[in-house]
Amino acid sequence: MKVGIVGAGSWGTAVGILLGNKGYEIKLWDRKKDLLNEINTYKENKRYLPGIKIPDNLIGEENIDKVVQDADGIVMAIPSHAVRSICKNLQNIINKDQVIISLAKGIENGTYKRMSEIIEEFYPHNPLGVLSGPSHAEEVSRNIPTTVTSSSKIKETAEFIQDMFITPEFRVYTNLDIIGVELGGAVKNIIALAAGISDGLGYGDNTKAALMTRGIAETARLGFALGAQPLTFAGLSGIGDLIVTCTSMHSRNRRAGILIGKGRTVKEALDEVQMVVEGINTTKSVYELAKIINIEMPITNELYKILYEEKPAKHAVLELMLRDKKHEIEEVAKKMW
């Protein structure tokens, strides 16, 4: 199999290593030419995955057209804000038989579209799916056992992606609820930012457990309104991804949140993390989307005020704790049954 990977960050490189170790022919593109030269010269991505050997059948390629031409599968391993521009640039290069797999987790600002919806705008006839779930690149690249979800509107496409990625160390389930899978992967970054802020403020496990539990509740509330299956959020792309992103120091969203909780500005936190923090843009999109469709998302609302209105984090926590009394699951149960 020939695979073209667009994006040589930590996740794109880790996936390239995973697929390269399966014997596939891998071409990897990134805007950073020095990074590609480093990968080809030293067989290592020292910037994002230092110490991890890159297989010889993975080649860094500066020409993005050469990466996607003739590839059986095209993996979009780029930040969510770059998906539209990359798709536009490749519009006349990708043919309708190539399978496109999105790894990006986010909701586009302004349009409120999921990543697969953006890709579908440009390639409406291509087999299209996503891969999501609790999967830090640092662990996948080291063959630490990991389990994820492959999703598509088409069963055969989800199964193609499953077969493409599955290894003894990387188990892949399928789920045809692409709306729920993508929303779970996007909104968990918002909750991870909030969990990091909680850690930065010096709060404990009780607080984080509350944020995670109520976070998955508001994620499911949003998903239900947008046509997702509620049970998806109890799976790998829902609570599974949420757990790992809220608790691990591999999580750039949690690390950024910790810095904000300690008093850094958003810009200072981003400068220190030195990687894309998807939850920042996604918070804005989801906050606005929830207002439009009239969905209550209190954690997202308070995080938006912290990030975009400079509200003190401790005041936001107090607002959450002093909200009107609520039932825990009755509203969800009524809608489901």
Which residues, listed in sequence order, are joined to residue 169 by a DSSP beta bridge?
none
Q: Hunting for tokens 């003894």 — which residue is that?
A: 168
Q: Which of 225, 244, 204, 238 is nearest to 289 (CA)?
A: 225
Residue 229: closest CA among 169, 183, 282, 174: 183
Structure tokens at 81: 């804000």
Known catalytic residue at 153: no
Angle ∠(217,220,225) on CA atoms, nearest 5: 130
Beta strands 128-132 and 146-151: pairing type?
antiparallel
Residue 240 is classified by DSSP as I
Which residue among the candidates 188, 208, 284, 305 is catalytic per the annotation?
Answer: 188
Beta carbons within 10 angstroms of residue 144's beta carbon: 12
Residue 112 has a CB neighbour count (10 Å cut-off) of 16
The structure tokens listed for 37 are: 């030269």
Residue 122, classified by CB atoms within 10 Å of its CB into exposed (0-12), middle (13-18) or buried (19+), is middle
Give first-to-last CA distance, the chain, whole Å.
45
Active site residue ranges: 188
